[in-house]
Structure 1
């Protein structure tokens, strides 16, 4: 891949991971997404799944199929060499798409940690909301729950610690912050992020061909709405 800074390592005996960086890094993630799209368009026989993350890309593979091509080499070695010999990140810069607009209600009744968050950030609640909603975020990866999008990076002033004791139940649609990340719980689940708002839209629908609202690489903008608008939108869902 023409870059000595990358690392390729096994992930169990049926997967390997390429890592460009160990931190949340826009430049590294751009390489991740370039490689992800390249290998989507140029699939390797035996690779059954590609999983992009913040700064890494994981290849899941069928050992039996890889062994048909590897001529005695281990599947990991053969696949590593094939990946390393291909400059999959030397692609043209893609056009920036318009951000997805996601309505969010920041009313305290649906944002139980907002007051704490503003106090922690040493600002008024209104300024906290403005700082959070004025930025365009990038979806770096999906994980934790089906359709949970890890987005970054929030303004340095409003970065928050995780809760010392996670909640046993966080309602679907709840918007939280943990460190420089922000994200929305697509399903009811336990969670330790600081909850600062809630969206009325559904982010995971198993009945759809693509059940996840977000995908890696999306750009997202939060649009503040009133509590009345939140209930109207929530009640208008089919």
Structure 2
């Protein structure tokens, strides 16, 4: 996804290490792909359809949308996964490729759980937040199960980080954005043990936490990859 590729490539590097450890072979499309979320969230639905159409064309050319293929399409950014799973087929109701893609979308945790992966034991508390889009339209049980297998104890905060895509960036929204973060997320992080891992798979959630606290939020892939030992992803 765009957020991971261009803004947090360390997440992709970490995810590849963990997927490799699970015996899976990650393949990234050679062409540019985008879920269209930024256009959907700002009401630019015609633009979203064009962007998503190019994504479908790219994946089809690369043989990743063949009928009957059940290979999981793993999306590291929860908001992008949600857009591909729900907005894509709604905006392209007559395109069978859109429905095939949506049916195969998996979060990072879902892909690993589908491979019955046993992650490294980390045995430490966690805090943080599940992305709002994931709460709304995607499964969160896989994430909880994977954390339990890794010995990551404690529940993530509810509520919203307040950044909410482009909302927190827009003029006039700052106070509301911060108030949302102060409702549940910031108190939960502040009250967590000092050795707690701060988990926020969503780029917007990590951005908000970084700007409003001293926390060092990370994607689940980064936390699990660190448990594998050796060179830390993105450290080269």
Which structure is higher in helix share? Answer: 2
TM-score, normalised via structure 1 length: 0.24
Higher relative contact order (CA 8 A, sep 6+): 2
Higher-Rg structure is: 1
